[in-house]
Amino acid sequence: MNPVGIIARLVLTVAAVVAVAAGAAGAATAADAPDGKAVYQATCAACHATGAAGAPKLGDADAWAPRFQAGIDGLYRSAVSGNGSMPAKGGNASLSELAVQAAVNFMVLQVDLKPAASKPTATKSVTAAPAKAAPVASAATSDVSAGKGRSVYQSACGACHGTGAAGAPRLADAAAWAPRLKSGLPALYNSALKGKAAMPAKGGNPALADADVKAAVDYLVAQARGDKAAATTQAVALPEPPPKTASAPTATPPPAPATTPATALPALTVAQAPAVAGPPPAQAVAATPAAVADANAFNRLLRAPGKRNLPPAEDGIHDPTNDGTLALQAPLTAFGPFPKSNAGNRIDWVKALAENRIQPRYDRLDPNAVPALMDLNIVREVKGSMPDVVYPHKQHTEWLDCSNCHPAIFIPQKGANQISMAAILLGQKCGVCHGKVAFPVSECRLCHSKNKTAAAANASAK
């Protein structure tokens, strides 16, 4: 299939659908006509602007091309009902279907046709993601034993198997894979090709070649076995026999059935051969930089976007074998429409309350009880160069009762409370809540928000 043709057809369909939708909206009320861009910005951008959870980024032709295979209706379906880690309606259940479709239209129209058009289709076996194939095949850095499977995995499987969406066993999660591995490799191939439970056939990408799907399964299985040792021995074993034909038998990983490399490797050689003309030793050397690259990854100790707000069964605290765990709500299904923040639950709870996104009760039983608000800002001048702290009673009394803080934590008298960041970090004073459940201390400027006047700064410097 020619990607240009697909995209051109899609754009035509979108234009037609937009026209029809506009007509329908005109028949109802003009005010109902949803603005795709606005919907995108409010709901979709969280993932589709950043590529979080494997979402195709706005305007990224490479990422969108495989999705276009499903046609505009397929995209609408995925957006409205959810697909993989994409939640239904982008997690904002209050959106109308029309609004979701408008957002899809907006995103589709942002895809630039030219980059996809200029990409050559590298090999016959890569029909699904022609745009992806070129960079992968030319990148001599990719480990030959994992290259093909990994590239297919990244383009087609990662959305779910990278994040654990829809109960998919995650990459390299030995515990989740163990029961699946028991059923044997042929059964896994079968599940991957034909689909099983939440797993769609070929990972929802019917254009993938069978060999590609199997290569991806091989890759996932190798990762699940923690078979980094096997993978490296494979890479090391390759250079010894120079001719490529001899590499297949030596590359057999010890525990795997004999069929594994036999099916995976021919596809590999086909994909790699034209681009990687160099001798095998180059590939073996390339295997080491991959590990180093991972060690030096940017922000490697921070939680990656796809690993935030995980459902209970995957959060490492809940027991995934417990039936009750599966009945619990997943955070993202609740957080969808909430304003975002950069820390904690990644939700701006104060804003969520102010915008009436949540209506938490102030009384156990009475839904109409309203808090007794106190609107009084306390300014605390701090040492050093940090801006002074402004403590707002208002936002605190929205949630809390006076007795929660006074007098046990804070003596209600000016100058009577010694507060330091050390105490807060140790869970005292503000740290009773901030750093445990209210926004953490990493958000310095939310408290330290009042710039010192020049005179005050000079005085403190003396």
Partner 1 sequence: MASPRKTCIAHRIAVAALAAAALLALAGSEDARAEYGDVVINNYSDAAGMRPVVFPHWFHRVRYRCKVCHADLGFKFKAGGNEINMVKIIDGQFCGACHNGEVAWSIENCNMCHSANPKTPTQVHESTIGTIVLPAGTSAAPAVRK
Q: Point out which residues bind partner 1 (CB under 8 A).
A: 174-175, 288, 295, 301, 303, 307-310, 312, 314-319, 322-325, 327-329, 331, 334-335, 343-345, 347, 349, 358, 360-365, 371, 398-401, 403-404, 424-427, 431-433, 435-437, 440-441
Q: Which is nearer to partner 1, 245 or 296 (CB)?
A: 296
Q: Which is nearer to partner 1, 317 or 461 (CB)?
A: 317
Residue 214's nearest CA partner among 285, 273, 263, 158 is: 263
Residue whose token pair is 């099916």:
263
CA distance 166 to 156: 15
Q: Which is nearer to partner 1, 71 or 331 (CB)?
A: 331
Beta carbon of residue 100, minimum distance to partner 1 (angstroms, whole number): 23
Q: Which is nearer to partner 1, 26 or 281 (CB)?
A: 281
Within 41-178, strands assigned E span none
Beta carbon of residue 191, minimum distance to partner 1 (angstroms, whole number): 23
Q: Which is nearer to partner 1, 3 or 91 (CB)?
A: 91
Beta carbon of residue 284, minimum distance to partner 1 (angstroms, whole number): 14
Q: Which helix or strand (DSSP H or E) is residue 441 part of?
A: none
CA distance 90 to 333: 9
Beta carbon of residue 29, minimum distance to partner 1 (angstroms, whole number): 32
Beta carbon of residue 385, minimum distance to partner 1 (angstroms, whole number): 22
Q: Which is nearer to partner 1, 7 or 287 (CB)?
A: 287
Beta carbon of residue 73, minimum distance to partner 1 (angstroms, whole number): 34
- DSSP per residue over 215-275, as a string? HHHHHHHHHHTTTHHHHHHHHHHTTSS-SGGGHHHHT--TTS-THHHHHHHHHHHHHHTTT
Beta carbon of residue 255, minimum distance to partner 1 (angstroms, whole number): 17
Residue 212's nearest CA partner among 116, 85, 124 is: 124
Q: Are 133 and 120 in contact (CB under 8 A)?
A: no
123-149 burial, b if ≥16 CB within 10 A, otherwise e?
A: bebbbbbbbbbbebbeebebbbbbbbb
Backbone torsion region of residue 309, taken as left when φ is above 0, otherwise alpha when ψ lies between -120 and 50, otherwise beta: left
Q: Which is nearer to partner 1, 9 or 361 (CB)?
A: 361
Question: Cα dist. 116→69, 172, 194, 352 in Å?
Answer: 13, 32, 29, 40
Q: Which is nearer to partner 1, 280 or 431 (CB)?
A: 431
Q: Which is nearer to partner 1, 148 or 225 (CB)?
A: 225
Beta carbon of residue 403, minimum distance to partner 1 (angstroms, whole number): 5
Beta carbon of residue 111, minimum distance to partner 1 (angstroms, whole number): 32
Q: Which is nearer to partner 1, 210 or 315 (CB)?
A: 315
What single-letter amino acid sits at 85? S
Question: Cα dist. 125→217, 270, 438, 459 in Å?
Answer: 16, 8, 52, 73
* Bridge partners of residue 438, in order along the sequence: 434
Q: Are 314 and 164 in contact (CB under 8 A)?
A: yes
Cβ–Cβ contacts within 10 Å for residue 208, how many?
28
State the DSSP code for 155. Answer: I
Beta carbon of residue 327, minimum distance to partner 1 (angstroms, whole number): 6
